[in-house]
Every structure is written in C-alpha cells, then in structure tokens.
C-alpha cells in the first residue's frame, strides 16, 4: 500500500516524501514539474537510502492519473500540487482556478473510481483573511480572502468537505499551514523559487548570496512590536513531520478534521532579519518600503489542537530555520540547476 504525494518534487512535497520514506511508508510521487525539478526527488532518495516512485503527470489529466492508480496500490493521498504565487494569481485568475480547482476535481474523480478514501490537503492560514483574533484557532472564522490563490485553497476545502459529507467512509484532514521556511539540515533539498522571490526568507537568502542588493521591508507602521509584519514561521521539516502524523491519524476517524500547522510564535520581519544575521554572521542590508497590498499586521497559530489530536508540535526554532535556509542557499546558489 502506498501514499500518493501530488506535487512531490516541490518544496514542501520533497521534504514530506523524505519523512514518509524515513517513517517506512511506500511513496508514489507525481508532479508536472511546472515549478520544481526531478533532482529534488533524486536527492530525497539518496538521503532516505530508499526510493520513492515518480510519475511526471498533471493532475488535470484524468487518463494520466488513471494510469498511475492502475499501476500502483494507492491507499491514501497527500495533495500538494498547485500553483501558489499570490501576485500571479491576481494577474491570471483563470490559470489558478483551472490548475488548482479543476486539477483537484480530476484527482478526486479518479480517486473515487479507485475507491481511495483517505486524503490530506495542503491548505493555508490565508483562509482566515484578516484574522478575527490571534493566536488563530481552528474556530477562527473564515475571512475575506484577498486573492485568487487563497480563494482556491478555501474552495478546495469546501469541495472536499462536501465530498466527505456525501460518503461516510471518507477520512479527510485539512492542514492550514502558516509560513514554511528552512530546509533539510543536509542542505540537499530546499526552496527554489523562480525569478524574484515573493516571500521573505528566499529574498533574504538571495541578498545573502549576493543575487539581490537589499531587502525591501514592506511597511514599518503595522500594529506590532517594531512596526513590521508578524508571521508564524515554521521549519519545513516540522511541517513535513506533521503530514506523517496526519497520515497515521487518518486511520482513527471518518469525516473531516482541520488543523493549524504553525509554531504558535509570531516573529516580525526585522526579528527574522536580525536572527538571520546573528546565526549566519552575514549582514542583510534593507530599506523600508511601502506596505504590500493585502498584507496584514499579524498572523500566528494556536497549535494546541494539532498537539492534542495529532500528537505533533514544532520542534525547530527560528535560529534553526535561518541556519538551514542559508545552508541550502549557499550550497545551491542556483537551486537544483547546479
């Protein structure tokens, strides 16, 4: 029996495949390689000392998916495949609705044909919009989601939950991630953004490696301890391990469960910059810029439900996140292209 990991060569997918292999699971990864490289999985296999199977396939291609389900004995699915660039989703909403929503529906149709009823979905804290309160619990109301990317996450949550209501045999876990950063401690796998990074940590590491001159800090007049935006950064290995616990949890219940996956700690942009500088001994020049549209003051999780029900909590702190992000970037200045 194997776990199908869609988006398995991507940033979070590759780290999760590694932890699943380490935990003894058989893994089948699929990806259309639109935002990743096959090399990530080669490195995962090297690190694990065993192999995940790989299929180059698009989740919108039902026949391609059927071929995989026919060949492999799939028992459960972790669904990472999707496009995730917020700005691009505003410019190209149809691309996002087609790729993320149509893709997920195709996957669900084929999964149903093959009677697979265990599913973990990569959702996001973005579904809380401007959070009604912090720390954000799973009871926090769903907010106004400011971009098509975030809306696809919420729409997929709704589609999946309706599917579960229609089938009492189904077990679904929605994981709402906060801000994943960091990399495997080996520095062999990590985040490899195309073009100018949108997110804070890859931007900082590209400044550190000399690819960008300085970091723009988007606003210093937020209602936070130093005026810069506060987020709940989570080490990608901790996040990957949350999926291993989620896979085990799927055996224990039928229906839908939702968990926030964060550390419970909020750090500002300047906290991250200062910690990165201290841990790695590198100066990060920065200047204060205008606020970025759609950004919020602060966003951090209550991680209590994940601890109580999944037996999972984040173990790695901000210093390890900064050290491992830099270790990956300096060993792989051009990502997987070297």
111 lies in the binding site for ligand NAD (CB under 6 A): no
194 lies in the binding site for ligand NAD (CB under 6 A): no
Q: Are 250 and 174 in contact (CB under 8 A)?
A: no
To the nearest 10°, report the CA torsion of 188, 192, 196, 202. Answer: -50
Binding flags for ligand UFG, 27-56, as an x/- string (CB under 6 A):
------------------------------
Q: How far is the CB of 333 from ligand NAD (least distance, A)?
A: 18
Question: By CB under 6 A, which span of 7-15, 89-97, 240-248, 267-275 interacts with ligand NAD?
Answer: 7-15
Identity of the residue, 171 or 265, whose beta carbon is nearer to ligand UFG in the bound complex: 265
Q: Which of 4, 7, 145, 273 binds ligand NAD (CB under 6 A)?
A: 7
Question: By CB under 6 A, which span of 46-54, 74-82, 140-148, 243-251 interacts with ligand NAD?
Answer: 74-82
Q: Which of 217, 250, 301, 321 binds ligand UFG (CB under 6 A)?
A: 217
83 lies in the binding site for ligand NAD (CB under 6 A): yes
- For ligand NAD, the binding residues in 316-335 under the rule CB under 6 A are none
From the list ligand NAD, ligand UFG, none, partner contacted by residue 198 (C-beta under 5 to 8 A by kind): ligand UFG
Identity of the residue, 150 or 219, whose beta carbon is nearer to ligand NAD in the bound complex: 150
Q: How far is the CB of 83 from ligand UFG (least distance, A)?
A: 10
259 lies in the binding site for ligand NAD (CB under 6 A): no
124 lies in the binding site for ligand UFG (CB under 6 A): yes
**Size of residue set near ligand UFG by CB under 6 A:** 22
Estimate the crossing angle of helix 318-331 against helix 200-208, to 10 degrees: 50
In terms of C-beta density within 10 A (0-12 exposed, 13-18 middle, 19 or more buried), how is residue 220 classed? middle
Question: By CB under 6 A, which span of 3-11, 21-29, 132-140, 309-317 interacts with ligand NAD?
Answer: 3-11
Output 13-16 pairs: Cβ under 8 A, ≥24 positions apart: 13/78, 13/80, 13/81, 14/40, 14/41, 14/43, 14/44, 14/189, 15/183, 15/184, 15/189, 15/236, 15/237, 15/239, 15/240, 16/78, 16/80, 16/239, 16/240, 16/243, 16/244
321 lies in the binding site for ligand UFG (CB under 6 A): no
- What are the backbone angles phi and psi of residue 281, rounded to the nearest 5°? 65, 35
* C-alpha atoms less than 13 angstroms from C-alpha of 251 in its C-beta half-sphere: 5
3 state SS for 3-55: EEEECCCCHHHHHHHHHHHHCCCEEEEEECCCCCCCHHHHHHHHHHCCCCEEE
Q: How far is the CB of 291 from ligand UFG (least distance, A)?
A: 7
32 lies in the binding site for ligand NAD (CB under 6 A): yes
Q: How far is the CB of 221 from ligand NAD (least distance, A)?
A: 24
Rounded Cα gap, residues 245 and 197, in angstroms: 30
- For ligand UFG, the binding residues in 156-215 under the rule CB under 6 A are 178-179, 198-200, 203, 215
Instruction: Report which of 154, 153, 29 is spatially closest to residue 84, judged by C-alpha positions.
Output: 153
Strands 53-56 and 74-79: unpaired
Q: Which of 25, 80, 259, 267 binds ligand NAD (CB under 6 A)?
A: 80
Instruction: Report which of 97, 259, 237 is spatially closest to residue 177, judged by C-alpha positions.
Output: 259
Query: Tokens representing 39?
Result: 């090399």
Residue 149 annotated among the catalytic residues of the structure: yes
The residues annotated as belonging to the active site are 149
**Residues making contact with ligand UFG (CB under 6 A):** 84, 86, 124-126, 150, 178-179, 198-200, 203, 215-218, 229, 231, 269, 292, 295, 299
């Amino acid at each position: 029996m194997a776990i199908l990991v869609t988006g398995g060569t991507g940033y979070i997918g590759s780290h999760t495949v590694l932890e699943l292999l380490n935990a003894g699971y058989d893994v089948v990864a699929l990806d259309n390689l639109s935002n990743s490289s096959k090399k990530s999985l080669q490195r995962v296999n090297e690190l694990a000392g065993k192999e995940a199977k790989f299929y180059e396939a698009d989740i919108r291609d039902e026949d391609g998916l059927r071929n995989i389900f026919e060949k492999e004995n799939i028992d459960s699915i972790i669904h990472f495949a999707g496009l995730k660039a917020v700005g691009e989703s505003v410019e190209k909403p149809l691309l996002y609705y087609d790729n993320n929503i149509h893709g997920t529906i195709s996957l669900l149709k084929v999964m149903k044909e093959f009677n697979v009823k265990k599913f973990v979905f990569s959702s996001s804290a973005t579904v809380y919009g401007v959070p009604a309160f912090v720390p954000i619990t799973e009871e926090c109301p769903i907010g106004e989601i400011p971009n098509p990317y975030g809306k696809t996450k919420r729409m997929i949550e709704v589609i999946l939950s309706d599917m579960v209501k229609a089938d009492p045999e189904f077990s679904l876990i929605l994981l709402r991630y906060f801000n994943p950063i960091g990399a495997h401690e080996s520095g062999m796998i990590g985040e490899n953004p195309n073009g100018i990074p949108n997110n804070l940590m890859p931007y900082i590491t590209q400044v550190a490696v000399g690819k960008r001159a300085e970091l723009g800090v988007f606003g210093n007049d937020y209602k936070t301890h130093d005026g810069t935006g506060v987020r709940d950064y989570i080490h990608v290995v901790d996040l990957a391990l949350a999926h291993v616990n989620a896979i085990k949890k799927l055996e224990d219940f039928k229906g839908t469960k939702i968990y926030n996956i964060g550390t419970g700690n909020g750090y500002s942009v300047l906290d991250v910059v200062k910690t990165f500088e201290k841990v790695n001994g590198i100066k990060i020049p920065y200047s204060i810029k205008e606020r970025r549209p759609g950004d919020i003051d602060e966003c951090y999780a209550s991680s209590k439900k994940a601890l109580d029900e999944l037996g999972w909590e984040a173990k790695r702190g901000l210093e390890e996140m900064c050290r491992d992000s830099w270790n990956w970037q300096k060993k792989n200045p051009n990502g997987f292209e070297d």
